[in-house]
Chains A and B, each alone.
Chain A
Amino acid sequence: MTVTPPPEILHAPLVVEFPFTRSLGPVQSAFLTGLRERTVLGVRTDAGEVLVPPVEYDPATAAELRELVEVGATGTVTTWAWNPEPRAGQPLTTPFAWVLVRLDGADTALLHALDAPGPEAVRTGLRVRIRWAAERSGAITDIACFEPYESGTAAETVPHTGEFDDPVTGIVAPARLDYTYSPGRAQTRYLHALAERRTVGERCPSCAKVYVPPRGACPTCGVATTDQVEVGPRGTVTTYCIVNIKAKNLDIEVPYVYAHIALDGAGLALHGRIAGIPYDEVRMGLRVEPVWSEDGRYPDHYRPTGEPDADYDTYKELL
């Protein structure tokens, strides 16, 4: 048992990226299809207010809303904020104003960007118009941004069926967030040891269980696991399954065996792939040892040691 100072904390880029696919209801579909056709639609509430952007249920009464009207492509800034450093994904790459714009004929405001030379050119009450994107697909980004437009006359609302050829019925909203993942002290120690082809667990000072891989806490006792214990390298298969479906981007022939392996000295089993033996000969109690990956940073899989099988009693508590 040793207590060593924490090594340098590891970091790695972590990218979370989803192309969220969302369906549209009748009002949102009409609105976004309308943007594709350079037509801005709002929805009228029972109280006679016109909501732009439109929603399918009245935010005040929850009544279903379906009465579409066309509003102007010009409007008035109701509030604004100057953005000196645009961030990734925002509508403009040069400094711009975020604006809430009440389009002519509407009673509520739409959030978007305003292209203006500087904050001195923006004020609440400024008249603006839509600058349409050159290529439009039926999305809020079909409005490229707003631009100042002092000479406009306010448009009246016009009833609209909301019907278009080839209506947009869904959107794909890609989202990407970039993180720098840091695993903390316990997992950093574990990963550094793996790179030296050692497997290090941590013992709970309260219940004495040895966790592999360690996460820094005993989930049973709720206390820090600070004592490091080298375990393995050999271990015992406690249970296993046979995988018959090939995973995407995984260069392993099926069927193969995925197993729980209790390394000698560990208080619980970790999981790993078993190779070096026909898949249908893997069994509970099989003694195995790690085979390190080519770059030597982690066990690629485990293979039989050739020892006699372990007695059930020696691992039954670790199932």
Chain B
Amino acid sequence: MTPHHRPAREVAIVAFAQSHHRRRTDDLSEVEMVMPVLHDVLRQTGLKASDIGFTCSGSSDYLAGRAFSFTMALDGVGAWPPISESHVETDGAWALYEAWVKLLTGEADTALVYSYGKSSPGSVRDVLTRQLDPYYLAPLWPDSVALAALQAQALVDAGHTDENALAAIAERSRTDAAANPHAQLPGTRPQGEYVVRPLRTGDCPPIGDGVAAVVLAAGDLARELCERPAWIRGMDHRIEAHSLGVRDLTDSPSTRLAAERAGAFDLPHGLKGMGGAPAVDTAELHAPFTSQEVVLAKALGLDASVRINPSGGALAANPVMAAGLIRLGEAAARIHRGASDRALAHATSGPCLQQNLVAVLEGDPRA
């Protein structure tokens, strides 16, 4: 990899845990839902909460319908003696980014990153309309499926996909999810009726509640905590114009730029790639809708040699605010267990892939 992209300090994801994602968790408050996952991820490293240098979380008050809802979930961390803590009001992938920067600066050697989404108390399709431009869009209440469907039709019109190809993405994702004990929709299922045409039930993510957590560590400490750390070789996030009518919905230049800045198109051992496909074996893409995988795969130049979403992806479990962090965690876990050497992880936020984060993760070379 070129020195231009090499971070000043080696930082790795050393542990990942997630809940079993479920349609409803009425029996659990947020903290009751979060706590077992925090205990799990810490147990994997042998660290105690008091050993963690920095804690960062991601969630959204609009899912809970209550202000400062993350402070309640923070009870599950164990915040005494006082801890260094931060929160992002978006997907936990961006909390991971903040934690990564904190470790790169040397201000901390370890970080606990977690995020959670409890969509079941409200109607998440309607809730997500509140993140739209409040002058021109939000008063029309265009729900998240409707906006994704506009993007899907643009792809069909441009000849980039069709309904059969979208169904095949759904089928592949949920077949893969059968091996994922955390998935909410494991195994194939009928494509179903149109929700908003051209998207059918099968093209859309499940609505559910869930939690994810990772531990980051720097340098030799990462090697002590994890047999095969998933080194973060680069990470970047980019945003596009908020007005949907300004964007080319069939492309994702922000994803491509983030991937480029994260070093995804560089070859792993010092040679610069020629702007072709990223040299990765695995891509965990945060594509809640089948059509969004088409956009992302095209923007990133992924070919058939790259294993896309072996976890089943967001089509099998999409706890809003955690699904992006899960992509980073799943990619890292695959490196931990030796199923991947170099993986790309992607997270998104906003309508029609408005904001995109890309990380490149690598395992140490194996003998």
Query: Residues of A with Cβ closer than 8 Å to B?
Result: 6, 9, 11, 14, 16, 20, 22, 24, 28, 32, 51-53, 55, 59-60, 78-84, 87-91, 98, 100, 102, 108-113, 119, 124, 139-141, 171, 173, 175, 177-187, 215-224
Task: Let me know if B135 and A32 touch, CB within 8 A.
Answer: yes
Task: Count A/B pairs, Cβ under 8 Å.
Answer: 185
B152 touches A22 (CB 8 A): no
Q: Are A217 and B76 in contact (CB under 8 A)?
A: yes
Q: Could you tell me which residues of chain B, from 159 to 202, have a CB within 8 Å of some CB in chain A?
A: 194, 196-199
- CB < 8 Å: which of B80, B146, B157, B245 contacts A110? B245
Instruction: Tell whether, in the assembled complex, residue B141 and residue A88 are in contact, meaning their CB atoms are under 8 Å apart.
Output: yes
| Distance in Å: Cβ of B85 to nearest Cβ of chain A | 12
| Residue contact A89 to B122, C-beta cutoff 8 Å | no
Q: Compute how far the CA of A79 lies from the CA of B62 in the bound complex, rounded to whole angstroms.
A: 29
- CB <8 Å contact, A186 and B26: no
Tell me whether A28 and B76 are in contact in the complex, defined as CB-CB below 8 angstroms, given that A59-B243, A111-B140, A217-B35 are known contacts: no
The listed residue (B38, B62, B140) touching A90 by CB distance below 8 A is: B140
Given contacts A53-B243, A219-B77, 14 further A-B contacts (CB under 8 A): A14-B65, A53-B136, A53-B245, A79-B153, A82-B194, A98-B150, A102-B245, A109-B244, A111-B140, A140-B136, A141-B140, A181-B121, A216-B31, A217-B75
What 0/1 pattern do residues 89 to 128 of B give for CB contact below 8 A with A?
0000000000000000000000000000000011101110
Q: What's the least CB distance linking A277 to chain B, in Å?
A: 34
What is the bound-complex CA distance between A98 and B149, given in angstroms?
A: 9
Can you list 7 residue pairs at the A/B interface with Cβ under 8 Å?
Answer: A9-B26, A79-B157, A84-B196, A89-B126, A184-B29, A215-B31, A217-B32
Q: For the complex, what is the distance from the CA of A24 to the CA of B157, rounded to whole Å?
A: 36
Residues of B within 8 A of A91 (CB): 140
Find chain B residues with CB under 8 A from A215 CB: 29, 31, 72, 75
The range of chain B's interface size is 35 or more
| Distance to closest chain A CB from B111 (angstroms) | 16
Which listed residue (A14, A55, A110) contacts B121, Cβ 8 A? Answer: A14
Question: Cβ of A79: which chain B residues have Cβ within 8 Å of it?
Answer: 150-151, 153-154, 157, 249
Residues of B within 8 A of A22 (CB): 134-135
Given contacts A124-B157, A217-B35, contact A139 B139 (CB under 8 A): yes
- Please measure, in the bound complex, the distance between the C-alpha atom of A59 and the C-alpha atom of B242, giving whole angstroms: 8
Asked if B49 is at the interface (CB within 8 A of a chain A CB), the reply is: yes
> Closest CB-CB distance, A200 to chain B, in whole Å?
16
Q: Which residues does chain B contribute within 8 Å of A220, judged by CB atoms?
A: 78-80
Binding site for A on B (CB under 8 A): 26-32, 35, 38-39, 49, 62, 65-66, 72, 74-80, 121-123, 125-127, 130, 134-143, 146-147, 149-154, 157, 194, 196-199, 241, 243-246, 249
Chain A positions within 8 Å of B139 at CB level: 139-141, 173
Contact (A185, B126) CB under 8 Å given A113-B140, A119-B197, A140-B136: no
| Given the contacts A139-B139, A177-B65, A109 and B153 also touching, CB distance less than 8 Å | no
Residues in chain B near residue A6, CB distance under 8 A: 27
Q: Using known A-B contacts A88-B126, A177-B130, determine if residue A81 contacts B149 with beta carbons closer than 8 Å.
A: yes
Residue in A177, A180, A186, A222 whose Cβ sees the most chain B Cβ within 10 Å: A222
Q: A90-B140, A140-B140, A219-B79 are in contact. Are A179 and B157 (CB under 8 A)?
A: no
A contact patch SS: mixed
**Residues of chain A within 8 A of B27, CB atoms compared:** 6, 9, 182, 184-185
Q: Are B78 and A223 in contact (CB under 8 A)?
A: yes
Instruction: Assess the A177–B127 pair: CB atoms within 8 A.
Output: yes
**How far apart sit A22 and B38, CA to CA, in the bound complex (Å)?**
40
Select from chain A the residue with minimum beta-carbon distance to B127. Answer: A177
Chain A residues near B241: list those with CB within 8 A: 59-60
Q: How far is the CA of A312 from the CA of B153 in the complex (A)?
A: 71
Given contacts A80-B153, A87-B126, contact A100 B75 (CB under 8 A): no
Q: A84-B194, A100-B150, A180-B121 are in contact. Are A185 and B32 (CB under 8 A)?
A: yes
Give the chain B neighbours of A140 by CB distance below 8 A: 135-137, 139-140
The 8 A-B residue pairs with the shortest CB-CB distance in the complex, in nearest-first order: A222-B78, A184-B29, A109-B245, A81-B149, A59-B241, A89-B141, A82-B197, A219-B75
| Contact partners of A224 in chain B: CB under 8 A | 32, 35
Residues of A within 8 A of B26 (CB): 9, 11, 182
- Knowing A178-B122, A219-B74, A222-B76, the reply to whether A183 touches B29 (Cβ < 8 A) is yes
Residues in A whose Cβ lies below 8 Å from that of B38: 222
Q: Which residue of B lies closest to A20 (CB)?
A: B134
Q: Is A187 within 8 A of B29, CB to CB?
A: yes
Q: Which residue of B lies closest to A184 (CB)?
A: B29
In the docked arrangement, what's the CA distance between A79 and B246, Å?
A: 13
**In whole Å, how far is A224's beta carbon from the nearest beta carbon of chain B?**
6
Across-interface contacts of A175 in B (CB, < 8 A): 130, 138
A51 to B152: give the CA distance in the assembly, Å.
23
Give min CB distance, B185 to chain A, whole Å. Answer: 21
A90-B32 in contact (CB<8A)? no
The residues of A that contact B79 with a CB separation of less than 8 Å are: 219-220, 222
Assuming the A-B contacts A88-B141, A113-B140, are A108 and B29 also in contact, with contact meaning beta carbons closer than 8 angstroms in the complex?
no
